[in-house]
């Protein structure tokens, strides 16, 4: 970095950067001690970094009020990125949250997003461990929660030019339960439909929607 005018705010900002990094790697009681030597025309800042103890996961638990969702998560527990004995790593929790949301989204639970999945960490300073509870809230507690099914699937193969041109009649064709909006009969709808993994009546599946895209 090019030289900067000395400002204590920069020093404290760097301390926070160091601490945030250490915390994200499991050193939750790390300390940063800063020594500042003022000279005539310059300043020497020294950061003394003490990582101290690496915290590890001692236990994991599920907190889910909906029994079908709890069973689904339990059946896929071997895929969890939060494992007993591993060090605490912040990014693992971010990735685990995404895994759970994708799992729910692939099994018909359309409404779930990041606000419904969080973690409760009970830290023990005595033995430097963390007991983790994965909490999954229900989007609408006032109603019995249900899975979402796919209704109608429309594949629009037209262009803006087709819609503005009065000489081209637009056609609606049905193939394997899928509705195709096409400008002519020249499309191999059987081949296209065979490549689409979605069908009406299927449970909402985020992965299949992305695959189709």
Look-up of token digits 């999945």: 117
- Confidence band for 1, pLDDT divided at 50, 70 and 90: low
Tell me if the pTM is above 0.85.
no
Is 143's pLDDT higher than 50? Answer: no
Of the candidate ranges 13-22, 82-91, 157-166, the one whose mean pLDDT is the lowest: 157-166
**pLDDT value at 22 more than 90:** yes
Query: Distance (Å, rounded) from C-alpha 29 to C-alpha 32?
Result: 10
pLDDT recorded at residue 204? 86
Which has the higher per-residue pLDDT, 37 or 166?
Answer: 37
Residue 207 is predicted with a pLDDT of 87
Query: Is pLDDT larger for residue 153 or for residue 159?
Result: 153
The pLDDT tens digits for 97-125 are 999 999 998 998 887 888 899 999 999 99
Mean pLDDT, the chain, rounded, equals 89
Query: Beta strand pairing status for 56-64 and 129-136?
Result: parallel
| Closest to 19 (Cα-Cα) out of 11, 9, 10, 29 | 29
Tens of pLDDT, residue by residue over 25-50, are: 999 999 999 999 988 888 899 999 99
Residue 105 CA to residue 94 CA, distance in Å, equals 17
């Amino acid at each position: 970095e090019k030289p900067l005018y000395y400002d204590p705010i920069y020093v404290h900002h760097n301390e926070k950067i160091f601490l945030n990094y250490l915390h994200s790697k499991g050193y939750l009681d790390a300390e940063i001690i800063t020594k500042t030597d003022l000279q005539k025309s310059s300043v020497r800042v020294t950061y003394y970094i003490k990582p101290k103890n690496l915290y590890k996961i001692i236990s994991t638990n599920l907190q889910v009020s909906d029994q079908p969702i709890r069973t689904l998560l339990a059946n896929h527990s071997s895929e969890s990125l939060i494992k007993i004995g591993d060090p605490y790593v912040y990014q693992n929790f971010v990735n685990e949250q995404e895994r759970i949301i994708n799992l729910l989204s692939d099994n018909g639970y359309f409404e779930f997003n990041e606000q419904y999945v969080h973690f409760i960490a009970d830290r023990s300073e005595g033995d430097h461990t963390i007991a983790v509870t994965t909490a999954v809230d229900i989007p609408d507690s006032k109603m019995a929660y249900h899975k979402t099914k796919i209704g109608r699937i429309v594949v629009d193969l037209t262009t803006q030019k087709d819609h503005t041109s009065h000489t081209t009649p637009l056609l609606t064709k049905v193939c394997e339960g899928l509705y195709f909006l096409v400008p002519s009969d020249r499309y191999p709808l059987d081949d296209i439909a065979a490549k689409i993994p979605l069908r009406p009546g299927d449970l909402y599946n985020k992965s299949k929607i992305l695959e189709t895209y």
